[in-house]
């Protein structure tokens, strides 16, 4: 069940994170009572309607608010919504949602479950903090709220991270700084986006873990990969057990020594790509070529600014 509160972050951090900004937006809770409820609470006097219609704490019609197009959570637990709705019917809505202006209406930034549950409870108006936010900040705040409550499944989290990367040009390090994770954790999470649809769905529903999903990325044959994923689910294999099966599956019985050697080289390349990716703050891939000792080094970038940053990290200076 969602608590009727804003996400809170650690008070002392070395790097500025969005969680602290979210928790400090509102000084105290407010309450909106539902007609006919036992609660005698009314809208707190702290809610002030700005004369200019600009940022501030206001009461808004629920019909004037629409969902956040950058909302990372895709699945809403109906039972949890009903429980939250009953809580609102009994005690009122104790915490405002956060919105930003969108033409004549408003777009949710934080609190979509509260907004949905409030409608189910019969509220026609809810308290809302109106903020002046750009697309990137809105997407980041929506992600941070869900991460702090651990509401997102691994695939939703991976898709949210890659959205920040592709749409706003954030590096893995910048994403890590904002959400309070290590750069390698962000990189590993984003790798789940490379899974096929069938395996992704098993990770999304929790049938197998994110660790299982990353282990299965080593299986190039999609049919074989999905079969292994289903076997892992039915057999309740550990990640290590699955990794052993993956190695067996990708090995070549006809030329075991050669296969073992190639596996070692591939593992070394994967580790080098991971380390270089962490150093550059972006995704790096190393692919072996047909000729022994040849290959391809792929360094991804998602904006011209990020490209310039990569050139700087590589100490490359263009002539002329």
Q: Is 111 left (phi over 0), alpha (psi -120 to 50) or beta?
A: left
Q: pTM for the complete prediction?
A: 0.51
Question: What's the rounded Cα separation, in Å, for the pair 308 and 161?
Answer: 21
Q: What is the mean pLDDT of the chain?
A: 74
What is 100-161 written as a DSSP string? EEETTEEEEEE-HHHHHHHHHTT-SEEEEEEE---HHHHHHHHHHHHHHTT-S-HHHHHHHH
How large is the average pLDDT for residues 53-74?
79
Confidence of residue 231 (pLDDT cuts 50, 70, 90): very high
Model confidence band, residue 233 (pLDDT cutoffs 50, 70, 90): very high
Torsion of CA 119, 121, 127, 128, to 10 degrees: -40
Reply yes or no on whether the pLDDT at 173 is more than 80.
yes
Q: What is the pLDDT of residues 105-120, one digit of tens each?
A: 999 888 888 888 899 9
pLDDT for 220 beyond 80: yes
* Residues pairing with 286 in the sheet: 297
Where residue 225 falls among pLDDT bands split at 50, 70, 90?
A: very high
3-class secondary-structure state, position 245: helix
Q: What confidence score (pLDDT) does residue 150 get? A: 53
In this structure, of 44-58, 62-76, 232-246, the range with the lowest mean pLDDT score is 44-58
pLDDT digit string (tens) for 124-157? 998 888 988 888 888 878 777 766 555 678 898 8
What architecture is domain 18-148?
Answer: Alpha-Beta Complex (3.90)
pLDDT at 268 over 60: yes
Please confirm, yes or no, whether 112 is among the known catalytic residues.
yes
Q: How many CA atoms lie within 13 A of 276 on its CB side?
A: 16
Q: Which of 107, 112, 140, 174 is catalytic?
A: 112
Instruction: Spell out the domain ranges in the chain.
Output: 18-148
Whole-angstrom distance between the N-terminal and C-terminal Cα of the chain? Answer: 60
Q: Could you tell me what percent of the chain has a pLDDT over 70?
A: 71
Which has more confidence, 213 or 52? Answer: 213
| Residue 232, pLDDT score | 93
Q: Residue 196 — pLDDT band, cuts 50, 70, 90? A: very high
Whole-number percent of the chain with pLDDT over 90: 13
């Amino acid at each position: 069940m969602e608590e009727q509160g804003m996400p809170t972050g650690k008070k002392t951090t070395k790097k500025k994170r969005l969680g602290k900004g979210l928790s400090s937006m509102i000084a105290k809770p407010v309450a909106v009572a539902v007609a006919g409820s036992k609660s005698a609470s009314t809208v707190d006097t702290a809610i002030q309607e700005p004369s200019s219609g600009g940022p501030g704490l206001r009461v808004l019609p629920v019909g004037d608010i629409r969902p956040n197009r950058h909302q990372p959570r895709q699945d809403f637990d109906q039972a949890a919504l009903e429980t939250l709705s009953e809580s609102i019917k009994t005690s009122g809505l104790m915490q405002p949602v956060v919105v930003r202006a969108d033409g004549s209406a408003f777009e949710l930034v934080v609190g979509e479950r509260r907004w949905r549950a409030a409608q189910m409870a019969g509220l026609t108006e809810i308290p809302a903090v109106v903020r002046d936010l750009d697309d990137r900040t809105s997407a980041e705040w929506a992600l941070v709220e869900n991460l702090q409550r651990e509401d997102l499944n691994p695939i939703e989290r991976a898709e949210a991270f890659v959205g920040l990367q592709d749409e706003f040009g954030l590096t893995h390090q910048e994403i890590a700084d904002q959400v309070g994770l290590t750069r390698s954790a962000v990189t590993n999470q984003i790798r789940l986006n490379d899974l096929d649809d069938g395996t992704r769905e098993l990770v999304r529903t929790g049938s197998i873990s994110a660790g299982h999903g990353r282990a299965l990325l080593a299986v190039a044959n999609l049919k074989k990969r999905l079969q292994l994923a289903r076997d892992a689910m039915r057999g309740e294999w550990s990640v290590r057990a699955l990794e052993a099966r993956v190695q067996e599956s990708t090995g070549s019985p006809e030329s075991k020594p050669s296969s073992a050697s190639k596996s070692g080289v591939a593992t070394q390349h994967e580790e080098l790509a991971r380390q270089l990716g962490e150093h550059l703050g972006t995704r790096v891939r190393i692919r072996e070529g047909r000729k022994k000792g040849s290959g391809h080094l792929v360094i991804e970038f998602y904006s011209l600014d990020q490209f310039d940053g990569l050139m700087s990290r590589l100490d490359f200076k263009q002539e002329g």
